[in-house]
Structure 1
């Protein structure tokens, strides 16, 4: 099994470059950073876990700048957006940011994507109605893949319209970096099964991990795809344990991602405390 390390990447936490170097040295296969460009102060949408919104949500660094810096100081570790809120970006600008990061990292980027959970956050930056966010995400991914793999590509959909354009550089990975989808509700799971290159659910929000994995693989098969070709990265938001990792290993989960705290001192204690799990389970 591969073991990834996820961080909120907050401006009051450790430097992204320091985390990337340490994670690579400790045997993690990937570094995951989140994204929230902003949080509207109205705070109307409740947190999915039913808790007060932690301050890290409005203190996250930009993921592409952070991962670009991490790429410059590492050589092996994968660099992952966990996840990029694609509907909060202009599509051509996002195509260039992703391709540039993949180029400067030597093809080490994994493009984790999602639609988010904060209604007013999306409304603040996008005309896409909340009820149509999944359809808009599909069009965005289709448009991005065209820009990454073709010299000249356009797109015409309900939400995304691009005149035939030249966008360079192209990603090292062709036809583009793997798209890992973080959506895990009923609709989101179907989207991941239909056209994502991988699925990265939060295990805290799965009532039964075994049933969820079976349901996802059945959905992948229903679209005529091979489940073995759509790997799962299980995001372990709560404390990782040997029992959890043994279960995920049994289920054929490709990667377990450890969610580390944001404060620098807590982060350091976390990686120290869980090093034995990396040593035991990491490929």
Structure 2
């Protein structure tokens, strides 16, 4: 079972190039970063975690700038979006950003994607929250066309463009792995697009039956990465017994000295599960 980290990189915490280097030096396999373009101050949509929305949500850096910095400082570290909010993004621009990062990093990109939860944030981007699932599916299909065809076109309900040329094409073939985030309602999306399911912080006892359900829906084995995983060794051992492919330990947003100290503590888990 591979061990990486998932985190919010902000202007108040450790810089992404230094974080990437620290992770690679300690044997972590990957860095996944969250995305929020902004936070509407109305705060109409409740925070799924309950209580006040944490400060880090307001201050996230752009994921592609962040991951480019981390990739530039490392040689083997996988860099991933966890998750990119595709319901809030133009698919043509996003396809180029993903392919450019994949080109720059020599194929070290994982494209983690989700539909999001903050409805007013979506609305600010012109997205109807009621149809965001169908929108994301179309944008994924359109991006795959752009990545895999010299002359790409797509005609759908939400995405519509005549033949276009867009380079670079991804180094990863046929394109970077797509990790689909979400719960049961995302299983059909995982089945269609997913190289893996990105399960958000589910404890082993809840994850096990959902993995079985996903196998039935997808009609195949789907690798599972647990996002925001517990740091408790006993819990991680349960994930390994379930056949989880990767755990992403939840890394708080802290300045460099505190982050370094914490990663030194967590690096022992990498040795256990490699």
Q: Does 1:79 align with 2:79?
A: yes
Q: Is the 8 A contact 1:233 1:255 kept in 2?
A: yes
Q: Unaligned regions of 5+ residues in structure 2, if any? A: none
- Which residue of structure 1 aligns with residue 191 of structure 2? 193
The Cα offsets for residues 85-121 of structure 1, whole Å up to 9 and x where unpaired, read as 0121111111110000000000000000001100000
- Which residue of structure 1 aligns with residue 265 of structure 2? 273
Q: Is the 8 A contact 2:26 2:264 kept in 1?
A: no
The 3-state SS of whatever aligns with 2:135 is helix
Q: How many residues align?
A: 273
**Structure 1 residue 72, shift from structure 2 partner:** 1.2
Q: CA RMSD in A?
A: 1.5
Q: Distance in 2 between matches of 1:103 and 1:267?
A: 29
Q: What is the TM-score of this pair, normalised by structure 1?
A: 0.92
Q: Is the 8 A contact 2:32 2:79 kept in 1?
A: yes
**Structure 1 residue 247, shift from structure 2 partner:** 1.0
The 3-state SS of whatever aligns with 1:200 is strand
Q: What is the TM-score of this pair, normalised by structure 2?
A: 0.95
Q: Is the 8 A contact 1:180 1:197 kept in 2?
A: yes
Which region of structure 1 is more displaced relative to structure 2, 186-195 or 76-85? 186-195
The Cα offsets for residues 190-241 of structure 1, whole Å up to 9 and x where unpaired, read as 22133211111112478612112222222211xxxx31xx31111134x411
Q: Does 1:232 align with 2:230?
A: no
The Cα offsets for residues 38-81 of structure 1, whole Å up to 9 and x where unpaired, read as 01111100111112101100100000011111111111010000
- Which residue of structure 1 aligns with residue 164 of structure 2? 165
The 3-state SS of whatever aligns with 2:227 is strand
1:59-138 aligned at under 5 Å gives the runs 59-126=59-126, 128-138=127-137
The 3-state SS of whatever aligns with 2:192 is helix
